[in-house]
Amino acid sequence: MFSLFLVVIGGGIGAGIRHLANIGAMRLVGPNYPWGTMVINIAGSFAMGLFIAILARRGGSNELRLFVATGIFGGFTTFSTFSLDFAALWERGATLPAFGYALASVVGAIIALFMGLWLARSLP
């Protein structure tokens, strides 16, 4: 139960930071392109890689990993987790599965979003 608490608190922090970053990006460059989301995904992936490498080197606790990686970075961007999963496959030498995962995840998510839009718009 404590693990869930860590993830929930961290997720709230990450989501709050994401919201502020999106507002800042819209004020800075306008709403015509999803700059905020793109920067968040890239920055979150960088931060995830940095954190996981430091955690592995220094032997950090599972609680810290749950709070920061799953919670904060997960709330900030789930793209960072996607990027970490891709990297794990790549580093295991599973190049084809890594690219299959990336392609299926991105294309599948976009198709699923359009299906959800279609379904919601089709309902009375």
Summarised one tens digit per residue, pLDDT across range 54-77 is 999 998 899 999 999 999 999 998
CA-closest candidate to residue 70, choices 86, 89, 91, 85: 85
For the stretch 81-97, pLDDT in tens is 889 889 999 999 999 99
CA-closest candidate to residue 69, choices 4, 1, 11, 5: 11
Question: Does residue 15 carry a pLDDT above 90?
Answer: yes
DSSP codes, 21-85: HHHHHHHHH-SSS-HHHHHHHHHHHHHHHHHHHHHHHHT--HHHHIIIIIIIIHHH-THHHHHHH
How many whole angstroms separate alpha carbon 30 and alpha carbon 71? 29
Helix (H, G, I), strand (E, B) or coil at 92: coil
What mean pLDDT, rounded, does the chain reach?
92
Name the burial class of residue 28, with classes exposed (0-12), middle (13-18) and buried (19+) by CB atoms within 10 angstroms of its CB: exposed
Residue pair 80/41 in contact (Cβ under 8 Å)? The answer is yes
